[in-house]
Amino acid sequence: MIFIKTILLLLAILFSVSSSSQEQSKEFTWPGGGKLAVSLSYDDALNSQLDNAIPELDKHNLKASFYITSNSSVMNARMAEWRAAAKNGHELGNHSIYHPCRASLPDRQWVPKHHDLDNYSVTQMIEELTTANTFLKAIDGKTERTYTVPCGDLLVGGEEYLSTVNNLFTAIKGHGADKRFSLIWDPSNSTGKQLIEYINNIPSDILLVNIIFHGVGGDYLSVTSEAHAELLTFLTNNRDSYHVDSYINLMKYADSMK
């Protein structure tokens, strides 16, 4: 009887060790073994992104995501350049057609009445995002898309709407079920040193950080070209620690690891 109990105890210990080893083997890592991915994103389809951000990204062979507002005059005037960026591996993401936001919130006097989300319906937003996807498909030929929420506003006419548009996208930036992939930072007016310090101080349980730029060396909510270049140089020199790719590629990889 004692012998049988000893055998059972040993089997239990072996099973526990085996289960622990399996759990450790399932620890999430990005391609190349890094523990943190960096999604470099650029909103609103701005001139400075074409003039300053993309050349620097290409210099370092880093792929990023550009969230396009379809009615941007820069998209209309420089469409061939956006198409070339997509062909070179950068993501063109959905940022709506008109960039509607809630005018009732503080400092939103710039929102025109006809683009006020408080006056939108959920059906109207679904139609706008569907049309924006079609517009982007005409540029890059792709059928999979990710979305960044204009102004971060989650209510349309007082109603939550993301649950009604999830089927349109591979992922919605910052709004997945797994919060380890949802950290977002908008670093306007940050220096290169501040950008790097932020990356270095991200908690160890975070798997992906979304850095959302607007202007780079121009336009609005900007960082300088020098600060941007300093960050990209740092990421390039630390590829073993930080995995940089377009948001859609990162999220598709994360889904494949589940």
- Do residues 213 and 44 lie in contact, with contact meaning Cβ atoms separated by under 8 Å? no
**What is d(CA 224, CA 68) in angstroms, rounded to the nearest whole number?**
21
What b-and-e string marks burial along 36-56, b requiring 16 or more CB atoms within 10 Å of the CB? bbbbbbbbbbbbbbbbbbbeb
Residue 222 burial (10 A CB sphere; 0-12, 13-18, 19+) = buried
Domain boundaries, the chain: 31-256
Give the closest residue to 211 by CA, choosing from 249, 173, 175.
Answer: 173
pLDDT tens string 189-241? 999 999 999 999 999 999 999 999 999 999 999 999 999 999 999 999 999 99
pLDDT tens string 45-78? 999 999 999 999 999 999 999 999 999 999 999 9
Percent of the chain predicted with pLDDT > 70: 90
What's the pTM? 0.89
Q: Is CATH 3.20.20.370 the right assignment for the domain spanning 31-256?
A: yes
